[in-house]
Amino acid sequence: MNILFLTHYFPPESNAPAARTHEHCVRWARQGHDVTVVTCVPNCPTGVVFDGYTNRWSPQVEMVDGIRVVRVWSYVAPNAGTVRRIINYLTYMVAAILASLRVRRPDVVIATSPQFFCGWAGVWVSRLRRVPFLLEIRDIWPESIGTVGAIRNRAILRMLEWLERRMYLAADHIVTVGDGYRDRVLERAPVRDRTSVVTNGVDLRQFAPRPPDDDFLEQHGLDGKFVCSYVGTIGMAHGLEVVVDAAQILRSQGRDDIRFCLVGEGSQRTPLERRAQIAGVADMIRFIGRQPKELMPAILASSDACLVHLRGCELFGTVIPSKIFETMAMERPIIMGVRGEARQIVASAHAGLEMEPDSAVDLARCVTQLADDPVLLHELGISARGYVQENYNRDVLATRMLEIAERTAGWVGAPTPAREMDFVPAGGGHWEVASK
């Protein structure tokens, strides 16, 4: 089967959308399917193009783990500033549509959110190429941007909500990453008969228990400390002010044995660093920036526990952060500051402690309890690994997603070997091979 996958993010970007798309596509390619991904040059979340890439008008092609990757020009912007980010999304949408017209006709088009306009690129490509469209929903947009206050104009939000509903109705099938997201989609459009759930999961070979990385701990002044790490985007939705406030509480209790480690970038990193300086707890919080995906297992192994947190609003109770599966696979307990289905998973797995979102008192309580009880720490980690092995194996989930794509495409037959690049330049254009 010939699969065309549209995604705003793809490795070497290391966020959750990039990881999910890559881990699914690489498995499909290994099974003999011809997979093409249309994406941007890597630049998330800083808006700075990664070394080895250039943001060119002409599409660039590279092979990544058997996947044909077409990188298109877009207006690059940091993960901050509403207007610039929307321009980034819109330029990708247009460029992705144009590039998708120049590849061999697919059997199915898949587009993933975020971002919302990536989904609309999938709508137009499926119509122009006259092929079925599978829409993957990883975020309820525009509700999420309204929730964090990124857009406050009600007229604009109503227009975007209308477009959201039309996008759901245009899809031949919709896959959401959790039951909560599915329910939100069904509130907006009558698509129950063509909606499925394929959760996030984890590559159990890549994320397997290992000893802490002594070099990492020493480099960041964490050796000999109890380390509670947050790994992911440091954005408006994540409410990480709670970490600074919890550090203040721990300092007042004389707990110099505990450190927080924030791994990632985002619009709120600089404000949080200033907040920590003003609060006098900068020495208790390490901001180590964005790290390559391949270093994540070592970072998790070097953490005693991991914080998963979103602001305590109703919408975020539908979110299942993919980082919980990676953390659990590494036998690390979770301090769960997210309500809803994600909290239920961690509770069912006996994989961590629950905290009230936005409660610094609760965070300080949880991290202290784990630091003072090594037996509990070990028990939670062992239970976590066993649970994801049984329920969230990426191999199984990628196969489930592929089966849905095959049914959506009406594709019958055995996979055929992947072919060499066969892009068809249109209008005298040409493809350039990306340098790395």
Q: Is the dihedral of CA 177, 343, 338, 262 positive or negative?
A: negative
The type of residue at 320 is I
Name residue 11's amino acid.
Answer: P
Give the domain CATH number at 73.
3.40.50.2000
| Residues 6 or more apart in contact with residue 420 via CB below 8 angstroms | none
Q: What does the pLDDT look like over 130-160, one tens digit per residue?
A: 999 999 998 776 555 545 455 566 677 777 7
Q: Quick one: tokens of 75?
A: 């207006």
Query: 329 and 223 in one domain?
Result: yes
The structural domain count of the chain equals 2
How many CB atoms are closer than 10 A to CB 156? 14
- Examine residue 154 and state whether it is found in any structural domain, yes or no: yes
The residue-averaged pLDDT of 78-84 equals 68
Say whether both 143 and 278 belong to one domain.
no
Q: Residue 81: what pLDDT?
A: 60
Comparing 161-170, 325-334, 346-355, 382-391, the range with the smallest average pLDDT is 161-170
Q: What's the confidence (pLDDT) of residue 174? A: 96
Is 199 within 8 Å of 177 (Cβ atoms)? yes
The predicted pLDDT at position 88 comes to 87
Strands 2-6 and 334-337: unpaired
Residues 150 and 48 in one domain: yes
- The partner residues of 137 in beta bridges, in order of sequence, read 176
So what's the pLDDT on residue 418? Answer: 38
Match 């996958």 to its residue by tokens: 5
Residues 291, 347 share a domain: yes
SS3 40: strand
Residue 49 has pLDDT above 60, yes or no: yes
pLDDT single digits (tens) 244-255: 999 999 999 999
pLDDT of amino acid 432: 40
The 10 Å CB-count burial string (b at 16+, else e) for 24-53 is bbbbbbebebbbbbbbbbbbbbbbeeeeeb
- Residue 183 and residue 237 in one domain: no
303-324, pLDDT tens digit by residue?
A: 999 999 998 776 676 778 889 9
Tell whether 423 is covered by a domain: no
Residue 150 is assigned to a structural domain of this protein: yes
Residue 153 forms part of a structural domain: yes
Q: Is residue 38 part of a domain?
A: yes
% of the chain with per-residue pLDDT over 90: 70
Q: Both tokens of residue 129?
A: 């190429």
Task: Give the residue numbers spanning the domain of 104.
Answer: 2-201+393-413
Cα end-to-end distance, the chain, whole Å = 28
For residue 48, being part of any structural domain is answered with: yes
My answer on whether 167 and 234 are in the same domain is: no
- 194 and 255 in a single domain? The answer is no
Residues 356 and 404 in one domain: no
Based on the fold, state whether residues 405 and 352 are members of the same structural domain.
no
Are residues 404 and 379 part of one domain?
Answer: no
Query: pTM of whole model > 0.85?
Result: no
pLDDT-based confidence at 435, cuts 50/70/90?
very low
> 401 and 386, same structural domain?
no
Task: Based on the fold, state whether residues 226 and 250 are members of the same structural domain.
Answer: yes
Q: Is residue 426 part of a domain?
A: no
Q: What residues have CB less than 8 Å from 130, skipping those under 6 apart?
A: none
Asked whether the beta carbons of 114 and 8 are under 8 A apart, the reply is: yes
Structural domain includes residue 74: yes
Contact between 423 and 238 (Cβ < 8 Å): no
Residue 52, classed as helix, strand or coil, is coil
